[in-house]
Structure 1
Amino acid sequence: MSKARVIVLSVVHQGLTKAEAARKFDVSWQWVHTLVTRYETGGLDALEPRSRRPHASSTSTPEHVRTRIIALRQQLTTDGLDAGPVTIAWHLDQEHLPVPSTSTIRRILHTAGLITPEPKKRPKSSYLRFEAHQPNETWQSDFTHWPLADGTDVEILNWLDDHSRMLLSCTAHDRVTGPDVVSTFTATTNTHGLPASTLTDNGTVYTARFTGGKNAFEYLLAALGIQQKNGHPYHPQTQGKIERFHQTLKRWLASQPPAATIAELQTQLDQFRVIYNERRPHRALDRLTPAQAYAATIKAHPNPNTLSAHYRVRFDTVDRFGKLTLRRAGNLHHLGIGHNHAGTAVLILVDETSATVTHLDTGEILSIHHIEPDRKYWRDQTKEPGRWPGSS
């Protein structure tokens, strides 16, 4: 029996006064009075030791903030977006609410049963993280698969800025081809400028180096002074940022109604690009959005010693006579490619002095034409002088 119970029983049942009980048990009269009062109010159970913890804490998270943290977790998860403590803290700040520490947010989510325990992960300190120092220093590109509502497999081609994680381009295709890579790349450069380098895997839409040649994309990069970097075969970690991005993209798409057509999927991708770039903080960017990080630093550029001051890219198909037509300064000029290339899809790269025609699928240089503004026909400078390509 506890000492408190013995003191109370000695007063209540043995008839000791409170002062006598205090002297007998070597405690203060006030303490004996407190114990007797507790007994009279709640019985013997009221004599058990009580916590000294205050009933309220001035530093505790307000209830309306707790409620909002839980609501944000549920809302972001339903939307297929990142719902971790860092992201929730960013949203609280955007809503001008008090922002607890991320550890406090994590405890609130854990108490609410909204955190699923995961196996112990590899420590972050064990990773070697590579990051470009400036926007446009390196663009990563890759494509991934996604099904339409009827199960048809389509491919999504992405261009991602390595420094800021800015999603520069996100397009849906029946199947990603070399021309798709070139056209999306040139469209992206028209909006965001030229990158200093690109980083991709060794897919044939990006490189033909394993077949001993160059494809249209490689030739275009070389002509623009852009360094091309390719990851080691069977080592996707080199393109880790875009590989991780694909997880984020697919998690968001999975929360949307299945798209019935490529056009509907493209509408969803356009919506996602705005959300990803402007309405979602990135934990690796110290709570900045990719758009904020992309705009915060001066942009990198290709090597100025190899970059043409002016260039134009055009896609065309060689006609049945083996010729192409090119408009320059308001005048039409004809390029002889050769009858044997009739019907071939080509890329034409025009700079200040020449127009170079390459096979769009293989990257093979088909002809090089020196720009002669006063001449209607530009002959292939790589062919024998005085002969029209394909003529006998």
Structure 2
Amino acid sequence: MPHRNAPLTETGRLRLARCVVDDGWPLRRAAERFQVSPTTAKRWADRYRALGEAGMSDLSSRPHRSPRRTPSRTERRIIKVRVLRRWGPARIAYLLRLNPATVHRVLTRYRLARLAHLDRATARPVRRYERAAPGELVHVDIKKLGNIPDGGGHKVLGREAGRKTRSGAGYSYLHNAVDDHSRLAYSEILPDERKETATAFWARASEFFARAGITVQRVLTDNGSCYRSRTWRDALAAEGITHKRTRPYRPQTNGKVERFNRTLLDEWAYARPYRTEQERRDAYPAWLHTYNHHRGHTALAGKPPASRVPNLTSQNT
């Protein structure tokens, strides 16, 4: 940003204009003195004659009228559809027969939050948070995943042949625990989601976090039956851990582990065509290690979760 007393700031413009108007300098001489074009010198001289010193300030470049701007009535319709239906620009444009770029400009002009930043149930902006230290909060969840039949599913055999092998393959249950601050994850593939299975998983997860130097203070889960059981409650109470549950139909409250679930689906479960369920399971420990120790996390400035857990440095191999 130029200095206030540099030529052709407000002070420089005033000096130029006074040379022309008050002292009678020719435009070319004034332009040469202040190293501007004669056209520029004439503009500031005319502005000084009309407005005085106040005319030396920059004026808004906004046009006095915008005949091609979207009518106010159309803007109100766009906003109404966005608020009531929570649609994106393309769907709103299709409904109102407008250009998606026009709809996007209107939404941006009125600073309406992106759909990804809104709560689906209430349309209110989602409040982002992060605990200050590892162990203050651990998110726990179960992801149900269809098993791959022997010989492969539709990604290997094609959709028609894959349908014939789908039945009877059964399901696996990924029990996941993710630390809120570091995003460090502990995960196991287990055969069911019963209370005994979930409680035994937490005992092993708790040991994993303890070895990493993390003392768990709170655990957040959804309202699944295994997490409402006395077995689960007593297991956490024995460790002095506070148990919190999300509100019904609000999975975003447990968003850290929900995002982990989506990541493991994209980068492990469906990352390549596996021919057997065992082949996919064998690839999971290596992927989980990469996630914790090597994969950059956008919420951690491109660093892996282990970067926030000093005790894991020696395990980063």
| Higher percent of residues as strand | 1
